[in-house]
Chains A and B, each alone.
Chain A
Amino acid sequence: MRDLPWPARVYLVALIGAVAGLVGWSAVAPGGSAVAGKLDVLLVLMLLFLVCESMPTLLTVEHFAVSVSFSAALAAVVLIGPEGAALVGLTAVLSVRPGLPLIKRVFNGAQFAICGYAAGFVYVWLGGAIGVPEVHEFDDLIGPYVGATAVFVPLNILLTLTMVRLATRVRPVEMPLRGLAQFLLSYFGYGTFGLLVAGLWATIQSISAVLVLVPLFVARWAFGQYHAQQRSYDATIAALCQAVETKDYYTRGHCTRVSLASGMIAEEVGMGVERMRAIRYAGMLHDVGKLGVPTKVLQKDGPLTEEEFAAIQLHPMRGLEIVQGIDFLDEAFAGIMHHHERHDGKGYPMGLAGDEIPEFARIIAVADAFDSMTSVRSYRGARPVSVAVEELRKGAGTQFDPVMVAAFVRALEREPWQPPRRVDLPPPDAAETPTKDHDDPTMPIQVVTGQ
């Protein structure tokens, strides 16, 4: 409580006061007795609410976590009435979700209670009958129930966002419209669980809650498995890509940083979640084909012969060959294949120009060159970010897509770049020191021709 800024404290106290007022008023009002007669129902719903509230989030959309607990409060609206819904919502105080401090639980309890009461009020106002619905009454239930959900969900979001804003003093994160739509949709979808519980109460009482919960728990389990696998997958792909780089002391960590920078650009140009994920993987994997190029060619001092240059030009194709069996978006493959194309058509392997170059490739090209310039190379030190950005600007329109360069510059202003801090220098006995990097735009590859 002490850590909270005073507006947040005032807000919290006001909420708690409102809840206390509600409880006090319903104790003296005639509605209070309605709750007393249905203690068993109330208890079951409170338990249901608590179970849902205590299990970590079911679905995370962008920055929001959806918990299905509110469907129990909505069921209480139908079965017991506004006062019952408020009491059910209040149980959030007792939540045992790990990592949730008392102050948050108190806030949750208060806001759920208010939402529950408001939803119940709307339900009654729309003519919904309170009490265990008779089997033939179900159709009359739907309209008022939808109304109650339509009040509960936005009110819940509003109260929570206000608190977040007051407590952290940051502007609430801007949410993409599609994310918001998805979020609201899943929220309303979960609302139907309450309807199911209420509608089935006449037939099998509290068992209905169990039957609704089982698929949800299974879903929760599967989501947990999915997230664990996802994390594990990301770690594995990063480790394997780094293994490809271990031989060259100077390019270590290149793949991870290109992946990061590509993701930053992609976010800036407004890509969706799926494509963002795909481009991160593409950035990670863009150079795996480099292993197919003999090390002595990659690091050769002086101009390359045409055959050697042809070998270098082949590495995007080799990379594509390796990753082809993976079920990525096709765009990711295109990104790996064409990440050395140039805006003016002088790149390789196909010599595509301008818009012919796939979007992913245009992004990776910028990220790739940028990381190469800001990293230490044996033949030069790391360039500062500002110099590298200047180089990118210089190359915009010839080597790079100006749109992507501009997007990257904007992204860099928002979140500063962390260049690789330190390079483990090769052991002194290492015979060859590389004298070039095929990704470095300031050191164009020279090819001996006409022999």
Chain B
Amino acid sequence: MHQINCPWCGKRDEAEFQYQGDASVTRPKPNASEEAFFNYVYMRENPKGWHTEWWHHVSGCRQWVKVVRNTATHEVHTTGKPHDKLSKPKAGGRK
């Protein structure tokens, strides 16, 4: 079971969170094209390696937490609040 560092609560068990998908997509402006919304709703990268994603702290503070996680190794690099700019490590890896 992984541990995820909630910016509000500290390190917590993965079981307290609900995975909520890709955090790298941004909702288009209301007047954006149908295609822009289509891409927002449906189009996703499926990367092997570092991925920015949402983990909702449902059994904790109920905040949406941004997590940079490695999809191949499950290593969590960093976490942040919804509007934090989080950097991804260049290479995959774990110790």
Answer whether A and B are interacting partners.
no
Q: Which of B's residues lie within 8 Å of A, judged by CB?
A: none
